[in-house]
């Protein structure tokens, strides 16, 4: 039985692994992020869901899904990164004024008279902006969030619920990134982004260190023989780089193969890996995988991935709805899983690669044990219902 129709995709084996790029996420930074985030009120490890029925459908040995839909009530793993980076920025800003503060101090409003004058900003397709807005509300500063023209009204409203000012700009996600940076420079605001570029790396590094908590949980929750493959979403590369760094820390040099998957309409990581240098994807039609609609890589993330990833894949939008429906309905006795449009990229990559001779170097077979990262739940309930045919 096949999970998806036969669809075209592209795969690039990373011959530069271990020879180009460089590790950029240190262990000390991760431990600081984990120590802070796990002490936040409401923290709980999200579940690792075993999907043996789907594994049988695909013809592999095991399949497990790290379900981020319940993370801090925000619906995605992004809650780990943006909010953590907001707290770190506020703590550093206060320290420059001679004031020592902790996350708990900020959350309690002990320095709100000072932090209330600080504005953080970012561009977003939805989930990262929600995290930054939530972090600003939690730690008592102001947030201005930029969205581009195709971000849904539902995602905009979800950001505004946390007290942020939401500004819609024409163009793409990358246009919104540039507008946020321009307005921040003009107004003295601070950009909190997971997209790094020359001269802007400290905050994106904090964001990615926060993301590593998700991978750390998943690896600790995995039982039995270790996974052989990790399929993880692309975008600018932040979450994939976080997973790559954590896998290296947890499993060592002989860990599972890491495959980075992104939409074929926004394949900047794929193109960059082929070229060996950051390379944008050309303008084109939008993608259903809204959280991965990124035309330019994060330079930090790309360095980590060029050094650690085994392969890069670009997959078509036509597979998104079938993958979401397969998870929602369950396969062969599996529980139903609510997965948003961007969450299914890894599953699409896995399903299309299995049995296709162009992906043979990935060494997927009947004994493979695969970990997928379900990075978001139904963060746009209306779109989810339309694609799946039923509400979340």
372 - beta bridge partners? 65, 231
Residue 256 · residue 226 · CB < 8 Å:
yes
Instruction: Say what the pTM is.
Output: 0.96
Domain 82-193 top-level CATH class: alpha beta
**HSE, side-chain direction, 13 A CA sphere, residue 378:** 19
Q: What tokens does 290 get?
A: 């809204």
Q: Is it the case that residue 1 has pLDDT exceeding 60?
A: no
Q: Cα angle vertex 350, ends 329, 248, to 5°? A: 120
Average pLDDT of the segment spanning 248-252: 97
**By C-alpha distance, which of 299, 110, 137 is closest to 204?**
299
Q: What is the 3-state secondary structure (H, E, C) of the chain?
A: CCCCCCCCCEEEECCCCCCCCCCCCCHHHHHHHHHHHCCCCCCCCCCEEECHHHHHHHCCCEEEEEECCCHHHCCEHHHHCHHHHHHHHHHHHHHHCCCCCCHHHHHCCCCHHHHCCCEEEEEECCHHHHHHHHHHHHHCCEEEEEEECCCCHHHHHHHHCCCCEEEEECCCHHHHHHHHHHHHHHHCCEECCCCCECCECHHHHHHHHHHHHHHHHHHHHCCCCCCCEEEEECCCCHHHHHHHHHHHHHHCCCCCEEEEEEECCCCHHHHHHHHCCCCCCCCCCCCCCHHHCCCCCCHHHHHHHHHHCCEEEEECHHHHHHHHHHHHHCCCCCCCCCCCCHHHHHHHHHHHHCCCHHHHHHCCCCCCEEEEEECECCCCHHHHHHHHCCCC
Distance of CA 314 to the CA centre of its chain: 16
Q: Which pLDDT does position 128 carry in this prediction?
A: 94
Distance of CA 322 to the CA centre of its chain: 21
pLDDT in tens, 359-375: 999 999 999 999 999 99
Average pLDDT of the segment spanning 196-222: 97
pLDDT in tens, 26-58: 999 999 999 999 999 999 999 999 999 999 999
10-77+204-388 and 82-193 share one fold = yes
pLDDT in tens, 310-337: 999 999 999 999 999 999 999 999 999 9
Q: Would you place residue 283 in the very low, low, confident or very high pLDDT band (cuts 50, 70, 90)?
A: confident
Q: How many angstroms separate the CA atoms of 392 and 376, rounded?
A: 12
Question: What is the side-by-side strand order in the sheet with 10-13?
Answer: 10-13, 311-315, 257-263, 229-233, 369-374, 62-67, 48-50
Q: Cα angle vertex 119, ends 115, 121, to 5°? A: 140
**Which residue reads 């040099």 in tokens?**
253
Q: Would you place residue 72 in the very low, low, confident or very high pLDDT band (cuts 50, 70, 90)?
A: very high
Q: What tokens does 292 get?
A: 């991965």
What are the sequence ranges of the domains in the chain? 10-77+204-388, 82-193
Active site residues: 78, 125
What CATH number labels 10-77+204-388? 3.40.50.1100
Give the residue with greater pLDDT, 101 vs 355.
Answer: 101
Helices 202-221 + 82-96 axis angle, to 10: 130
Q: Would you place residue 80 in the very low, low, confident or very high pLDDT band (cuts 50, 70, 90)?
A: very high
Helices 238-251 + 27-37 axis angle, to 10: 100
Q: Which pLDDT does position 172 carry in this prediction?
A: 87
Q: Which pLDDT does position 2 carry in this prediction?
A: 73
Q: What tokens does 190 get?
A: 């601070």
Q: Is it the case that residue 285 has pLDDT exceeding 90?
A: no
Q: Which pLDDT does position 382 carry in this prediction?
A: 92
Q: How many angstroms separate the CA atoms of 345 and 209, rounded?
A: 22
Q: Quote the longest CA-to-CA distance of the chain.
A: 64
Q: Is it the case that residue 196 has pLDDT exceeding 60?
A: yes
Query: What percentage of residues in the chain have a pLDDT greater than 90?
Result: 91
């Amino acid at each position: 039985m096949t999970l998806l129709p036969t669809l075209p995709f592209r795969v690039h084996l990373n011959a530069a692994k271990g020879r180009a790029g460089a590790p950029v996420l240190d262990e000390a930074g991760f431990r600081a992020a984990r120590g802070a985030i796990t002490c936040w009120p409401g923290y709980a490890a999200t579940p690792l869901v075993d999907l043996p029925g789907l594994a049988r459908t695909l013809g592999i040995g095991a399949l497990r899904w790290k379900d981020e839909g319940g993370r801090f009530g925000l619906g995605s793993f992004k809650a780990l990164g943006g909010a953590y980076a907001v707290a770190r920025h506020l703590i550093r800003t206060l320290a420059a004024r001679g004031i020592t503060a902790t996350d708990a101090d900020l959350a309690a409003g002990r320095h709100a008279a000072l932090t209330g004058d600080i504005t953080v900003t970012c561009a977003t397709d939805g989930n990262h902006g929600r995290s930054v807005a939530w972090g600003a509300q939690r730690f008592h500063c102001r947030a201005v969030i930029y969205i581009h023209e195709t971000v849904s009204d539902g995602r905009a409203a979800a950001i505004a619920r946390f007290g942020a000012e939401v500004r819609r700009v024409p163009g793409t996600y990358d246009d919104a990134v540039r507008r946020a940076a321009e307005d921040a420079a003009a107004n003295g605001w601070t950009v909190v982004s997971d997209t790094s570029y020359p001269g802007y790396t400290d905050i994106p590094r904090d964001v990615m260190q926060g993301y590593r908590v998700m991978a750390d949980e998943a690896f600790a929750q995995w039982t039995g023989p270790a996974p052989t493959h990790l399929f993880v979403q692309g975008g600018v590369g932040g979450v994939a780089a976080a997973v790559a760094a954590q896998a290296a820390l947890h499993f060592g040099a002989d860990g599972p193969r890491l495959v980075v998957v992104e939409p074929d309409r926004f394949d900047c990581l794929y193109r960059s890996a082929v070229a060996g240098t950051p390379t944008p994807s050309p303008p084109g039609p939008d993608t259903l995988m809204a959280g991965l609609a990124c035309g330019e890589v994060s330079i930090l993330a790309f360095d980590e991935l060029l050094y650690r990833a085994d392969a890069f894949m670009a997959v078509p939008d036509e597979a998104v709805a079938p993958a979401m429906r397969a998870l929602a309905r369950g396969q062969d006795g599996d529980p139903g899983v609510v997965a948003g449009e961007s969450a299914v990229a890894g599953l699409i990559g896995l399903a299309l690669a299995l049995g296709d001779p162009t992906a043979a170097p990935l060494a997927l077979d009947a004994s493979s044990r695969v970990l997928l990262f379900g990075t978001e739940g139904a963060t746009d309930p209306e779109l989810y219902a339309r694609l799946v045919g039923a509400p979340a």
